[in-house]
Amino acid sequence: MSGQRSTLLFDATQRLLRRGALSHIKRIIAKTHPADLAHLIARFNEDHQVQLFGLVSDLEDRALVLAELADDAAAGIIQRIPRGEAVDILLEMDNDDVADLLGTLPKEISEELLDLMTGEDSFEVEGLLRYGEDTAGGIMTPEFVGLSESATVGEAIELVRQNRDVEMAFYVYVVNEHDQLVGVMSLRQLVISDNDVELKDIMEPGVVSVQTDTDQEEVARLVARYNLLAIPVVDNRNILLGLVTVDDVIDVLKDEATEDILKMAGAGQELVDSDSVWSAIRTRFPWLMIAFIAELIGVALITPFADSLQTHHYMAFFIPIIIAMGGSVGTQTATIVVRSLATGHILVHEVRRAYWRELRVALSLGGLFGVFTGFVGYLWSGWSVGFGLAVALSMLSAMVIAVTVGALLPLFFSRIKIDPAVSTGPFVTSAVDVLGLLAYFVISSLILSVIQ
């Protein structure tokens, strides 16, 4: 569904809701893909979300809509519908999605729902709830087709026929007598092989797997690198427990990209719900406080130069341009380094080479913009050679400081095991501001005390 069409659908639904034309909405809902319904419902407030969800009549669609909604929206809905209905939907959903959803609910409600869900599903979900939500265990589905090495192709195809509700079965995994993962083959390989061949003769033995505690970013990286449709998850004895499918990997990649981008701007970790001012303030306040304190230190550091400033008041006019240019270059460098580290484009021990390149970039651009600014400063100050020289050198220094901070601060964060993306937000910018400012005042005072 295109952007325009979802807007039309949203507008129509809003109009019909206002008029109370519920049967009309119901007809629209019946014709809409569950993934689109989830996007539609997500755009309403909580009361309307519950109301619209109530108009989805097909049980399978309800399960799909809930699985597609963000966890907090889905949790909001599931809490507000009768327990019996909720359990029916949960039983219809894939167990990895159920585990994600229950993990978001208050503990007493999730336990109540788990008690009401009986049988194998509830065991599986309880098993999944044990794993950290950002790990392979937390995003895996425990439903997969696993077969013994000595099984034949014919037996394997029969098993695929029987397990109709296994999510996305396009790989068949082969395990030994201890349930340890030993090989993999595609469903297609099965289809094109003779029925009486044993699996161990056609399987691919070197299967790439992850452990339950592998970080989801690493899972995504492997699936992307080896072009997989699913990756098996094993415990530390190599016993096959589940698999992560490529559709979940895509969600991970999208979420991680958004998270990185927001982190880099010091704007929290999630696209906050567009009506909540309070949560936006809470997320952003700490980053702004860091910037505030750093900039206050900057004010304190330049205060001793009050005399120079009083003598050469035009020095003040060039504060913004010098720190802005330094800030821009520093942000560029930090962004390139952080993103290169995140994509594996450069590794931590290669940052030095990247810094060397950035330094040459800064010397060139700093030289260039130093000449520009110096010329402007010379004219502005009424032909003061000293001031022209001072702003030129300050611009160059600010840029060199900027790339140094921009390259090394992410590296430092990465060494102390903090996501380097965090560093670009307030840290790089503030550090570049303060140090650039200090350089400007030191250089200008020194030069202006000698040359006018």
Return the residues of window 302-331 that contact its own copies according to CB under 8 A.
302-303, 306, 309-310, 313-321, 323-325, 327-329, 331
Cα angle, residue 207 at apex, residues 204 and 212 outer, rounded to 5°: 155
Pairing of the two strands 146-148 and 171-175: parallel
Give the interface segment with its own copies, choosing from 34-42, 97-105, 126-134, 173-181 (CB under 8 A).
Answer: 34-42
Residue type, 129: L
Question: How far apart are CB 416 and its own copies at their closest, in Å?
Answer: 17
Site size toward its own copies, by CB under 8 A: 120
Query: 354 with 333: CB under 8 angstroms?
Result: no
Question: How far apart are CB 42 and its own copies at their closest, in Å?
Answer: 9
Q: Is 41 in the site for its own copies (CB under 8 A)?
A: no
Residues in 209-238 that interact with its own copies by CB under 8 A: 218, 223-227, 229
Q: Which is nearer to its own copies, 83 or 225 (CB)?
A: 225
Question: How far apart are CB 106 and its own copies at their closest, in Å?
Answer: 26
Among 292, 383, 418, 449, binds its own copies (CB under 8 A): 292
CA distance linking residue 57 with residue 304, whole number of Å? 73
Q: Is 383 in the site for its own copies (CB under 8 A)?
A: no
On the CB side of 312, how many CA atoms lie within 13 Å of its CA? Answer: 28
Among 16, 346, 385, 446, binds its own copies (CB under 8 A): 346
Q: Is 261 in the site for its own copies (CB under 8 A)?
A: yes
Q: Is 347 in the site for its own copies (CB under 8 A)?
A: yes
Cα dihedral value 329, 330, 332, 337, nearest 10: 140
CA distance linking residue 148 with residue 179, whole number of Å? 8
CA distance linking residue 351 with residue 355, whole number of Å? 6
On the CB side of 415, how many CA atoms lie within 13 Å of its CA? Answer: 9
- Contact characters 145-184, its own copies, x per CB under 8 A: ------------x--xx--x---xxx--------------
Q: Which H or E run includes 91?
A: helix 83-92
Question: How far apart are CB 150 and its own copies at their closest, in Å?
Answer: 21
Among 44, 90, 147, 339, binds its own copies (CB under 8 A): 339
Q: Is 417 in the site for its own copies (CB under 8 A)?
A: no
Q: Is 372 in the site for its own copies (CB under 8 A)?
A: yes
Q: Is 15 in the site for its own copies (CB under 8 A)?
A: no
Q: How many CB atoms lie within 10 A of CB 107?
A: 9
**Three-state DSSP state, 218:** helix
Query: 148 with 176: CB under 8 angstroms?
Result: yes
- Please give the distance of CA 245 from its chain centroid, rounded to a whole number: 18
Q: Is 394 in the site for its own copies (CB under 8 A)?
A: no
Q: Which is nearer to its own copies, 109 or 229 (CB)?
A: 229
Give the interface segment with its own copies, choosing from 130-138, 176-184, 275-283, 381-389 (CB under 8 A).
Answer: 275-283
Question: How far apart are CB 246 and its own copies at their closest, in Å?
Answer: 5
DSSP lists the bridge partners of residue 148 as: 175
How many residues does the structure list for the chain?
Answer: 452
Backbone angles phi, psi at 378, to 5 degrees: -60, -45
Backbone angles phi, psi at 52, to 5 degrees: -65, -40
Residues in 107-146 that interact with its own copies by CB under 8 A: none
